Amino acid sequence: MPYREKKVEKLFYQIGEVAEMFSEPVSTIRFWEKEFDILRPKKNNKGNRLFMPEDLKNLKLIYHLLRERGMTLERAKKYLKTNRDDADYRLEIADTLRNIRAMLVDIRDEIK
């Protein structure tokens, strides 16, 4: 397995960076912030949102429920309130499977 450097994680991410990570418009990230209680980015003196790694984890969970599993906003909110541990576990499994798939695709491409 080839050596891969670990990505450097920043302490804070601006909303534009976060929107780019999820391929969503900035307005969607702001909307999700208003709709979901688990998402509370810090704001600096100018009022700019600063997302911490924990916020990114919550955004990833929201993105997974809304975009990948196709839940409605209301259903996703209820699901997070009642099944937060299950949601985290399912997201972890999905991420692991995506990583395994990416690794297998890399191996396949090297063989060709």
Q: pLDDT for 40-50, tens place per residue? A: 999 989 989 99
Residue 73 CA: distances (Å) to CA of 19, 53, 69, 76, 110? 18, 23, 12, 5, 41
Q: What percent of the chain has pLDDT over 90?
A: 61
State the distance between the two ends of the chain, measured CA to CA, in whole angstroms: 17
Q: pTM here?
A: 0.76
In contact, 42 and 34? CB cutoff 8 Å: no
Percent of the chain with pLDDT over 70: 93
> In whole numbers, what is the pLDDT of the chain averaged over residues?
88
> Residue 6: is its pLDDT beyond 60?
no
The pLDDT of residue 94 is: 87
Give me the DSSP letters along 65-87.
Answer: IIIIS---HHHHHHHHHH-HHHH
Q: Would you place residue 1 in the very low, low, confident or very high pLDDT band (cuts 50, 70, 90)?
A: very low
Indicate if the pLDDT at residue 20 is higher than 50: yes
How many CA atoms does the CB half-sphere of 89 hold within 13 Å?
4
Architecture of the 13-111 domain: Orthogonal Bundle (1.10)
pLDDT digits (tens, 9 = 90+) for 66-104: 998 899 999 999 998 888 888 888 888 988 998 999 999
Give the residue-averaged pLDDT of 10-24: 91
User: Which residue ranges make up each domain of the chain?
Assistant: 13-111
